[in-house]
């Protein structure tokens, strides 16, 4: 079975600084990878997804992630964060035809 | 284009009671998945419905059951509520036949069991 580990539970950064949220996964077969964002009192919104092809994936709100098969990682990055990026971020993994499995989440706190 | 809608938004129940949560999928979607998100945790998969049948199930007891209607809407039922059932319940929809159709989530129902 596949699983997801988000290596940081909380990441505090200053506005306009770069940020990286780390995600490792484990699976014995090929998987598809996703990042979701959850703002307070809301559901989850898809930021980006990796299905196949280019290992660098660009998403909404200036976020991007890089799929690294050898290191089984899918880290999320943004070169310059805004206050409005403060939210909970979830990495998720899925095998074809199976349910989406989420990590425990990383709280990104952006301060001025 | 309406997204995934869930009702009610908040609910307070007593231990031992039963609860029903409702979900309408995004227009054009035919598959509904339910997740439980405990405070400070990631969403945990409960089950998925397609063509009015449960297709996949996570590690949840039989107290958790569901239904999907011909219009693709869905209900989640939880019997004999426990304090540990307090959580945000998220419904997500997708479209079968579209390769790895991403899940679209509703804003959830916050269930508090006292």
Which tens digits make up the pLDDT trace of A20-40? Answer: 999 999 987 888 999 999 998
The residues facing A6 across adjacent strands are: A23
In the 8-state DSSP scheme, what is residue B98? S
Q: Answer yes or no: are the C-beta atoms of A44 and B89 closer than 8 Å.
A: no
Query: What string of pLDDT tens digits covers the 114 residues of chain B?
Result: 679 999 999 999 999 999 999 999 999 999 999 999 999 899 999 999 999 999 999 999 999 999 999 999 999 999 999 999 999 999 999 988 666 678 899 999 999 999
Residue B12, C-beta contacts closer than 8 angstroms, at least 6 positions apart: B112, B113, B114
CATH: 2.60.40.10, 3.40.50.2300, 3.40.50.1820, 3.50.50.60. Which one for A3-111? 2.60.40.10
Residue A90 gets the label, from left (phi > 0), alpha (psi -120 to 50) or beta, of: beta
Give the Cβ contact number of residue B64 at 10 Å. 18
Chosen for mutation from B29, B32, B42 (greatest number of chain A CBs closer than 10 Å) is B42
In the 8-state DSSP scheme, what is residue A52? S
* Min Cα–Cα distance to chain A from B93, Å: 12
Q: CB-CB: which of A4, A36, A104 is closest to B41? A: A104
**Dihedral (CA of A13, B36, B39, B109) sign:** positive
Closest-CA residue of B relative to A39 is: B107
Quick one: pLDDT at residue B1? 61
Closest-CA residue of B relative to A49 is: B102
Reference A105, options A86, A84, A85, A91; nearest CA is A91
Contact B100 A32 (CB under 8 A): yes
Closest-CA residue of A relative to B10 is: A41
Q: Could you write out the three-class secondary structure of A73-84?
A: EEEEEECCCCHH
For chain B, domains (ranges, CATH) are: 5-113 (2.60.40.10)
* Min Cα–Cα distance to chain B from A58, Å: 15
């Amino acid at each position: 079975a596949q699983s997801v580990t988000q290596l940081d539970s909380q990441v505090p950064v200053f506005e306009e600084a770069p940020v990286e949220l780390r995600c490792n996964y484990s699976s014995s077969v090929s998987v598809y990878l996703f990042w979701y964002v959850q703002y307070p009192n809301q559901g989850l919104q898809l930021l980006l997804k990796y299905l196949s092809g280019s290992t660098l994936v660009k998403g909404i709100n200036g976020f991007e992630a890089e799929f690294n098969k050898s290191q089984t990682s899918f880290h999320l990055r943004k070169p310059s964060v805004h206050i409005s990026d403060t939210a909970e971020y979830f990495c998720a993994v899925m095998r074809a035809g199976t349910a989406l499995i989420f990590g425990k989440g990383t709280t990104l706190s952006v301060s001025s | 284009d309406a997204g995934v809608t869930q009702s009610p938004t908040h609910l307070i129940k007593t231990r031992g009671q039963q609860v029903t949560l409702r979900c309408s999928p995004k227009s054009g979607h035919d598959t509904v998945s339910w997740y439980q998100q405990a405070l400070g945790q990631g969403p945990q998969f409960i089950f998925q419905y397609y063509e009015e049948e449960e297709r996949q199930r996570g590690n949840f007891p039989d107290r958790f059951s569901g239904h999907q209607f011909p219009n693709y809407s869905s209900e989640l039922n939880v019997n004999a509520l426990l304090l540990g059932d307090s959580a945000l319940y998220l419904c997500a929809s997708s479209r079968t036949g579209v390769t790895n159709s991403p899940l679209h989530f509703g804003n959830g129902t916050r269930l508090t069991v006292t």
